[in-house]
């Protein structure tokens, strides 16, 4: 299994600013992912964080808006750039070990004013 | 491409009565299916998973789900609801390394 922590747990930001969310896993994992959960909605995959190379983004998400880093096998960051109120969401980090199971962090609750 | 449809956005049961949360899936190959639970202001927790082994899958907290290929269903059940079961439940299908989430079912448990 894997235990995932995220920082910050929540934040309130002004529009036009950027926020970087950190994700730390307690063990080496094969894959890491970033999801968004907009208010009252389900989870949507933003991107797969690839270790040592550029992230793989899903349709509708771009690197300029959501730059992602993954410098090693246990850590990743997601930046939400040039924020607007529409970016208010829960952002969740996820990791997959060699098993079938994908584990999730507690989420970062972002409110953009 | 794969998808899941959760047939009920809200389910309300009385404590001690059975729980049924319905999920249908669509997948072009043999799917891996999961149920996750999200309690208020908490992260997602895996309840159970189906990965082409036994069709009746037992999970944590007394939940189980049955994979029925002929009906393309993966309904979640529990014989007796507890107040602590009140949460949002997500049915999830995996295609490759990508998880596709259903829209969620909010379970309410009343005294």
Q: What is the mean pLDDT of each run of 10 residues along chain A (113 residues)?
A: 92 97 93 92 92 91 96 95 96 86 92 97
Per residue in B43-62, pLDDT (tens digit) is 899 999 998 778 899 999 99
- Contact list in A for residue B44 (CB cut-off 8 A) is 43, 92, 104
Residue (of B57, B39, B56, B61) closest to B48 by Cα position:
B57
Rounded to the nearest angstrom, the minimum Cα separation between B46 and chain A is 8
d(CA B43, CA B92): 15
Residues with Cβ within 8 Å of residue A86, at least 6 apart in sequence: A112
Instruction: Report the pLDDT value the prediction gives residue B52, as an integer from 0 to 100.
Output: 77
pLDDT of B69 higher than 80: yes
- Contact list in B for residue A33 (CB cut-off 8 A) is 99
- Judge whether A1 is closer than 8 Å to chain B, CB to CB: no
């Amino acid at each position: 299994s894997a235990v995932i922590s995220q920082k910050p747990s929540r934040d309130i930001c002004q529009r036009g600013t950027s926020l970087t969310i950190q994700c730390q896993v307690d063990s080496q994992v094969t894959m890491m992912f970033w999801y968004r959960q907009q208010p009252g909605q389900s989870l949507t995959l933003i991107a797969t964080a690839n270790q040592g190379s550029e992230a793989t983004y899903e349709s509708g998400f771009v690197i300029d808006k959501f730059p992602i880093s993954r410098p090693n096998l246990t850590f990743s960051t997601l930046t939400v750039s040039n924020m607007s109120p529409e970016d208010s969401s829960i952002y969740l980090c996820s990791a997959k070990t060699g098993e079938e199971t994908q584990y999730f962090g507690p989420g970062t609750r972002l409110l953009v004013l | 491409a794969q998808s899941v449809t959760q047939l009920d956005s809200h389910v309300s049961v009385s404590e001690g009565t059975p729980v049924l949360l319905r999920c249908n899936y669509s997948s072009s190959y043999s799917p891996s299916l999961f149920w996750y639970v999200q309690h208020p202001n908490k992260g997602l927790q895996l309840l159970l998973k189906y990965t082409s082994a036994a069709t009746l899958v037992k999970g944590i907290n007394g939940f189980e789900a049955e994979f029925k290929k002929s009906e393309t269903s993966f309904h979640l059940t529990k014989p007796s609801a507890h107040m602590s079961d009140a949460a949002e439940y997500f049915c999830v299908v995996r295609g490759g390394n990508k998880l596709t989430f259903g829209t969620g079912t909010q379970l309410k448990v009343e005294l």
